[in-house]
Amino acid sequence: MEGYPFSIEIFRLEHEAQWTLEVVDAEGTSHVWDELFDSDREARDTAIRALEQEGPQAFVRGGSNVVPFRGR
């Protein structure tokens, strides 16, 4: 799925100590991790690891492509 655009969003609310990880596909579908991360780097590394292990097809909307992402 070369050339498939998506964005990796890592954010933390003001009053929260941990970070949230979200991947948004080209159609605007959001894929949010249930777990929170202690650092933005940890969240980023998790997203990159998911892409390396599952490929971008893990973030394609539709079909039977639901992939359970495991934490740390």
Convert the pLDDT of each residue in 9-63 to its tens digit: 999 989 999 999 998 887 788 888 999 999 999 999 999 898 888 877 777 655 4
Q: Residue 4: what pLDDT?
A: 73
Q: Where are the domains of the chain?
A: 6-59
CB 31 within 8 A of CB 59: yes
Tell me: pLDDT of 68 over 60.
no
Query: What is the torsion angle, in degrees rounded to the nearest 10, for the CA atoms of residue 39, residue 21, residue 49 and residue 51?
Result: -160
